[in-house]
Amino acid sequence: MHTSLDKIVSRIIKLLAAITALLLVFITLFIARESIPAFKQIGVADFVFGSKWYPVAFVGEPSYGIFNMIVATLYVSAIAVAIALVVGVGAAVFLSCQANQRQRNLLYPFIDLLAGIPSVVYGFVGLMVIVKCFENLGRSAGESVLAGGILLSIMILPFMISACSETMLKHREAYEKTSSALGVSKWYMVTELILPASRKSILVSMALAIGRAMGETMAVMMVIGNSTKFPTLLGKAQTIPALIALEMGMVEVNSLHYHALYAAGLVLMLLLFAINAIIMSVKQKVLE
């Protein structure tokens, strides 16, 4: 009886996994199909490496170049992941190795709640707190890449903490008694045993965080300034998701501008695939 039930559950899981994979393939093919006219008319190199985005030009020809937006997307995501990695791993170490069960039961719901807050709420908080702080420090305009990175790091913290703390807690339970019997201090156990053993979960959490960071639209759009110039740390910039969100509602269907926005989405997806492939490759090397 149990064997038959296990086979049924296994087949259902495989079917759901196949459906998920097919959905991803269909979405990618649809976006690629809508992007082809833009690549044909603009050219792949000019589109990806061009630095000017003027889809409506009053003088001269329109220009479609998203290089500055690609750099801005990667820049903001890198800042967010760097901040969230330090804070998230530290919080995971505290929750798994220092806090007791009662403290964990109290803190975990608040961490999960962070993941459930709508992006627009984060955007309002970032606009009224982070941007205002930069303005009070003497910046003429508080919107910047750094403001977007700080806000985004807060948004991806739950993914980092949740993915790391559970693994670290299991490793602590595995090593704690032996380490105590050998007279090894708790923090030596953390730095030399638990953290190295948790490298896989840290890399997985980074992959999840990067995907969340690069795809975030509303919150980042509200604090980054939305300028298509080349991004600097304290300057305004625009990410690819923000570009699509701001302009897709205004374009004429099947126009070159319309297809160029789909092409920008395809570039974003390819960037995500490439970064995840690199992280998975590093994870395999770590496990060897």
Q: What are 237-260's pLDDT values in tens digits? A: 999 999 998 888 888 888 999 999
Note whether residue 48 is domain-resident: no
3-state secondary structure of 64: strand
Q: What is the mean predicted confidence (pLDDT) over 99-127?
A: 87
Among 44, 20, 21, smallest CA distance to 32 is for 44
**Domain span including residue 205:** 63-287
CATH number for position 122: 1.10.3720.10
How far apart, in Å, do the first and last CA atoms of the chain sit? 39
Q: Which two tokens stand for residue 268?
A: 């974003």
On the question of pLDDT at 133 being above 60, the answer is: yes
Note whether residue 34 is domain-resident: no
Note whether residue 121 is domain-resident: yes
What per-residue confidence (pLDDT) applies to 33?
Answer: 93
3-state secondary structure of 253: coil
Q: How many domains does the chain have?
A: 1
Q: What does R_g of the chain's alpha carbons equal in angstroms?
A: 23
On the question of pLDDT at 128 being above 80, the answer is: yes
What per-residue confidence (pLDDT) applies to 181?
Answer: 80
What per-residue confidence (pLDDT) applies to 259?
Answer: 93
On the question of pLDDT at 157 being above 70, the answer is: yes
3-state secondary structure 132-162: HHHHHCCCCCCCCHHHHHHHHHHHHHHHHHH
What per-residue confidence (pLDDT) applies to 287?
Answer: 59
